[in-house]
Amino acid sequence: MSDTANPAVIRRADYAAPAFLVDSVALEFDLAPERTVVKNTMRLRRNPDATPGSRLELMGEALAFIGAAIDGKALAAGAVRAHEHGLSIGDVPDAFELVIESTCNPVENTTLSGLYVSSGNFFTQCEAEGFRRITYFFDRPDVMATYTVTLRADKSAYPVLLSNGNLVEEGELADGRHFAKWEDPFKKPCYLFALVAGKLVALEERIRSRSGKDKLLQVWVEPHDLDKTRHAMDSLIHSIHWDEERFGLELDLDRFMIVAVSDFNMGAMENKGLNIFNTKYVLANPETATDTDFSNVEAVVGHEYFHNWTGNRVTCRDWFQLSLKEGLTVFRDQEFSSDMQGGATDETARAVKRIEDVRVLRQMQFAEDAGPMAHPVRPESYVEINNFYTMTVYEKGAEVVRMYQTLFGREGFRRGMDLYFKRHDGQAVTCDDFRHAMADANGRDLAQFERWYSQAGTPRVSVRTAYDAATQRYSITLAQSYGDAAPAARETQTGPLLIPFAIGLIGRDGKDIALRLEGERSETGTTRVIELTEPEQTFTFVDIKEAPLPSLLRNFSAPVIVEYDYTNDELAFLLAHDSDPFNRWEAGQRLATRELLALAARAAAGESLSLDDSFVAAFARVLTDESLSPAFRELAMMLPSEAYLAEQMEQADPAAVHAARQFARKRLATALKNEWLAIYERHVTPGAYEPTPQAAGQRALKNLALAYLAELDDPADAVRLANAQYDSANNMTDRAAALAALLAASATAGAGVAEPALDQFYRRFEKEPLVIDKWFALQATQRGSAKHRVIDVVRRLMAHPAFTLRNPNRARSLIFSFCAANPAQFHAVDGSGYAYWAEQVVALDSLNPQVAARLARSLELWRRYTPALGDQMRAALERVAAQVKSRDVREIVEKALA
C-alpha cells in the first residue's frame, strides 16, 4: 500500500522547524469538573530558523474558545478563527504577548488524554499530544518554554493543588476557594506539563543529594492507599542515588513528586517534577502486591525518574525520535534493576534480569517486527503517534543503546553520555545526535550503526564453524540477513548492520578456553565481542587445542536471531556448563523449543506425543543444581511461552502448541514429582515477607513447583499444598500462586477445587482494585477445555458488578488477559474469541481510542496463522474496520488488512 497520497500520514522527512518560539507560558486554571476555564498567557516571537508565514496556527482539540488578545488588545471576531483542530490568528507581530481563554470538560473526558477526572480528582496526561486538549498551543516537543501555573479550586473538594516545579505561593480566595502557584525553572516541551488537584495524602522524605542540597520527596495517593507507598518511596531514593553514582546525574529540583491515579492509559509519565503513575506501578505492600509487582514498581519509578535527564533535560526534536528518550531510559532502568538484583558484581543475579528482559523482547518485539506494524526504532511515518509507543521503540531501542555499552564498555558509554549532556542539555534533539556523541566520545565512526535506527525486522545471524586439529585453528563464519521479513520491514532494509557478537569457546572439561584471534599477540579473556560488519565474515581463533563448543551471542549482545545447528547433546552440555549464565538459560530454551515444536507438529497431525528421557534428565540436572540460585532455576525450568512457540511455526497453531506444551509440562511434573515436592518443602520461607531478590527467588521456585504439581493426573498433592498455602499466606505472591495452582488443578479435578478460594479472595480484597484486577486476570488466563470454555467465563465476568470498560486496568485485566495472554482459548476454532474481541474493540473505540488500539493489535498477525483461523481473524478485522471511528484503531486495522 502506498500512502504518499494520504494526508493523514505524518512523515519524518517532512520535519520543519516551528514558525514561532514560546519563551514563557503562564497558565491559570479555574478548576471545575464540567467546565474548567484556562487562561493561557504566552510570550511569542518568530523563529528566525523557520520559513516565514503570516498566520499563527495553534493546535487545539475538544476545547471551547472564549477569546484572545495580543499585547493587551482583544482580537476582533474576524482576526481569529477557532476550528476543530485549533486556532488560526491573522497577521501577528514578530514578538508579542498572546492571551487565550478557553474551557474544557474534564468529567466527560474518557480518553484520559488532556485534563480529566478520576475518583473525583483532577489529573492531566499530555504526552504525546494531550496538551492541545487543555489549551491552544504549539503542541510539539521542540517548542520549549518556562511555565508558571496558577490553580484555583474549591478548597474542601480539592485541598491539594500540584503542578510542575516549585510551589511559590498559596492562599485563600472567596467562596471557599483557594489557590496555589507553581513555577518550573526549567524550559520544557508542553508534553511534560502536569497538574493534579484533589483529596490526596503524601508519604514524605527529605534527602540530601550528592552535592549537599536538600530535597523533598513525596508520594501522593488517596488516603486509603497510604499504607502502600513505602516501596515506591524506597525505589525513588534508590533511583536518585543510582543516577548520581552511575552517571553523575543529580536531581535538579528542590522537590520531586509522584502521584498515583487509578485511571491511566499507560504505566506512568515523567512530567517534570510531578510524575503521574498508574496505581499499578506505585502501590505495593505484601498483602496486595506480588514480587513481580514490587519489582515492576521499582523499575517504573526508576524509569520515570531517569527521564528527568534522558527525556526532560534533553528531549526529542519530534516524535519520530521517541526512542531517543525511551530506548535510552529503558536501558537505564534495566541496568538499575539489574544492579538492585545483586549488585554489579554478581553476574548470575544480573543475568536473571537480563533473561527476563530478553524473554519479553523475543516474544513481543520480534513478533511486532514480523507483522504489519513493523517499523524501525526511529519510525519513518505514522498516522497516530500513540500507536508508536511500541516494543520496538522501547525494548529494541534499549537493545540498540545497550550495544554502545557492549562496544565501548561502561567507561566508554559513560564518556558518550557525558558528551551528550555537555552538547545538548536544554535542547530538543535527534537519535543521530545521540549516536554522534557516542561516536565522538569514543573516537569511532558509527555511520554504519545508523542502520539500527532505520531498518525494521529482526536480523538473523547464521553461524558455521570449522576446527582444524592439525593447525589448532578454529574458525567461525557469521552471515547476517533478514530472512524473509514482513513487507513493512523489508522496505526499510538497505544494508548490513554493525553487530557486536559476543562469543566464548568451551572445552571438553566444560571450562572456557582463553581466546586469541589470528594476528593478535596474546590472549584476551574468555569472552570476545566480535564486530560483524559485512554480510559474511570469518573469524579465526588460534591455539585451540581441541574441538570446542561455541557459546554464541553471550548475554544476548545484539537483538538478533542466531542460527546454529547444535545437537541436543551439545545443548544439554551448554545447559550444564556454560559460564555465561544467559547462554546457560538459552541452551535450555533452545532444547525445549526444538522438542516442543516437534511435539506441536505431531499434535497438529493427530499423532501420539512422547518426550525423550534425555530431555527430562537435562532439566532435572538444572532443577537440582544447588549451586544455581533459585531465581535462575525457576527461569530455566519455565518452558518457552505458547506465544513464542506459535511465533516459531511456519503457520501458527495455538491449539497444537498448547497441547505440546501441556504434554511437556505434565511429563516434567510426573517424572520429577519427588524433586518438585522436595523443592516445594525446601523453599518455603517462614517469617515475615521481604521483597528481596533472594526471597523472591525462593518463592518463585517454590510456586513453580506447585504449578508443576498441579499438572499431575492426580493433583491431590497440589490441591492440598495450595489450599494450605492459600490459607496461611502472609503475602500476595504466595496467595495468588496458590489460587492459580487451584485453578490449574481444576482442569483435571473439577471447578469445585478452586471455587471456595476464588470467592474468598474476592471478598477479602473487594476494596483493593489492583487485587481485583488479579482476580479477573487469573480467571481470564486459566486453562480451558472443550467442556469448560474460558470465553464463557469471560462473558459472565463482563457482567460482574466490579467490571467496567472505563477503567483501563480493569479492561486489561479481563479483556486483554483473555485476548492476548490465553492463546489456546482465544483462538478457539469456533471463532468465539474473535467475535468477542471485535465487540470489545468497537465498544472501547468510542470511549478510549488508545486502549482500543492496543486491543486491536491482538489480531494483526492473522497472516501467520493456519488458514482455518487466519480467515476468521481477517473477517473479524474487516468487521471492526467497518465500524470504528478513531484514527488510533483505524491505523491498526487498516495496516493489518493492507
Residues of this chain that interact with ligand PHE (CB under 6 A) are: 125, 127-128, 266, 268-270, 303-304, 326, 389
Q: How far apart are CA 593 and CA 566, in angstroms?
A: 13
CB of 887 to ligand PHE, least distance (A): 16
CB of 191 to ligand PHE, least distance (A): 8
Toward ligand PHE, which CB reaches closer, 323 or 341? 323
- Asked if 304 is an active-site residue, the reply is yes
The H or E element that residue 551 is part of is strand 549-552
Toward ligand PHE, which CB reaches closer, 249 or 269? 269
Toward ligand PHE, which CB reaches closer, 278 or 493? 278
Q: What residue 283 binds from Zn ion, ligand PHE, none (CB within 5 to 8 A, per partner kind)? A: none
Q: Which residue has the cell 490553580?
A: 151
Nearest to 696 by CA among 385, 290, 338: 290
Nearest to 729 by CA among 719, 717, 738: 738
Determine the angle formed by the axes of helices 347-360 and 322-342, rounding to 10 degrees.
140
**Catalytic site residue from 304, 395, 711, 860:** 304
The H or E element that residue 96 is part of is strand 95-104
CB of 313 to ligand PHE, least distance (A): 15
Total H helices, total E strands in the chain:
30, 31
CB of 694 to ligand PHE, least distance (A): 29
DSSP letters spanning 171-194: EE-STTEEEEEEEEEEEEEGGG--
Q: What residue 269 binds from ligand PHE, Zn ion, none (CB within 5 to 8 A, per partner kind)? A: ligand PHE
What are the phi and psi torsion angles at 262 (to 5°)?
-85, -20
Reduce the secondary structure of 31-74 to three states and give it as a string: CCCCCEEEEEEEEEEECCCCCCCCCEEEECCCCEEEEEEECCEE
In order of 43, 418, 839, the CA distances from 263 in angstroms are: 34, 37, 22
| 17: preceding bond cis by omega (within 30 degrees) | no
CB of 301 to ligand PHE, least distance (A): 11
Three-class SS state of 649? coil
Are the C-beta atoms of residues 790 and 780 closer than 8 Å to each other?
Answer: yes
Toward ligand PHE, which CB reaches closer, 243 or 304? 304
Q: What residue 424 binds from ligand PHE, Zn ion, none (CB within 5 to 8 A, per partner kind)? A: none
> Which residues have C-beta within 8 Å of that of residue 727, sequence separation ≥ 6?
none
CB of 828 to Zn ion, least distance (A): 36
Amino acid letter for position 598: A
Q: What residue 268 binds from ligand PHE, Zn ion, none (CB within 5 to 8 A, per partner kind)? A: ligand PHE
Cα end-to-end distance, the chain, whole Å: 6
Q: Among positive and negative, which fits the CA dihedral 109, 114, 119, 122?
A: negative
Nearest to 515 by CA among 479, 468, 560, 550: 550
Q: How far apart are CA 286 and CA 774, in angstroms?
A: 15
CB of 827 to ligand PHE, least distance (A): 30
C-alpha cell of residue 319: 516524535
CB of 262 to Zn ion, least distance (A): 20
Q: Which residue is nearest to ligand PHE (CB)?
A: 266
Q: Within 302-341, which residues bind Zn ion (CB under 5 A)?
A: 326, 329
Q: What residue 127 binds from ligand PHE, Zn ion, none (CB within 5 to 8 A, per partner kind)? A: ligand PHE
Toward Zn ion, which CB reaches closer, 127 or 647? 127
Q: Quick one: how far is CA 131 from the chain centroid?
A: 23
CB of 397 to ligand PHE, least distance (A): 11
CA dihedral 161, 162, 167, 171 (to 10 degrees): -10
CB atoms within 10 A of CB 629: 21
CB of 275 to ligand PHE, least distance (A): 9
Q: Quick one: how far is CA 889 from the chain centroid?
A: 20
CB of 304 to ligand PHE, least distance (A): 5
Q: What residue 123 binds from Zn ion, ligand PHE, none (CB within 5 to 8 A, per partner kind)? A: none
The H or E element that residue 476 is part of is strand 473-481
C-alpha cell of residue 456: 525494521
Toward ligand PHE, which CB reaches closer, 70 or 261? 261
Toward ligand PHE, which CB reaches closer, 303 or 658? 303
Q: What residue 528 binds from ligand PHE, Zn ion, none (CB within 5 to 8 A, per partner kind)? A: none
Are the C-beta atoms of residues 719 and 756 closer than 8 Å to each other?
Answer: no
Q: How far apart are CA 316 and CA 310, in angstroms?
A: 10
Toward Zn ion, which CB reaches closer, 127 or 356? 127
Q: What residue 266 binds from Zn ion, ligand PHE, none (CB within 5 to 8 A, per partner kind)? A: ligand PHE
CB atoms within 10 A of CB 898: 10
Q: How far apart are CA 219 and CA 203, in angstroms?
A: 5
CB of 276 to ligand PHE, least distance (A): 8
Quick one: 800 exposed, middle or buried, by C-beta within 10 A (0-12, 13-18, 19+)? middle
Q: What residue 824 binds from ligand PHE, Zn ion, none (CB within 5 to 8 A, per partner kind)? A: none
Q: How far apart are CA 96 and CA 765, in angstroms?
A: 57
Toward Zn ion, which CB reaches closer, 272 or 661? 272
What is the DSSP secondary structure assignment for residue 813, as one 8-state letter? I
Toward ligand PHE, which CB reaches closer, 779 or 809? 809
The H or E element that residue 261 is part of is strand 255-261
Q: What residue 339 binds from Zn ion, ligand PHE, none (CB within 5 to 8 A, per partner kind)? A: none
Toward Zn ion, which CB reaches closer, 312 or 551? 312
Three-class SS state of 660? helix
Q: Among positive and negative, which fits the CA dihedral 609, 612, 613, 618?
A: negative
Toward Zn ion, which CB reaches closer, 96 or 305? 305
CA dihedral 178, 180, 181, 184 (to 10 degrees): -160
Three-class SS state of 869? helix
Q: What angle do CA 386, 392, 394 make, to 5 degrees?
A: 75
CB of 841 to ligand PHE, least distance (A): 20
Toward Zn ion, which CB reaches closer, 40 or 275? 275
The contact set with Zn ion (CB under 5 A) reads 326, 329
Just list the catalytic residues.
304
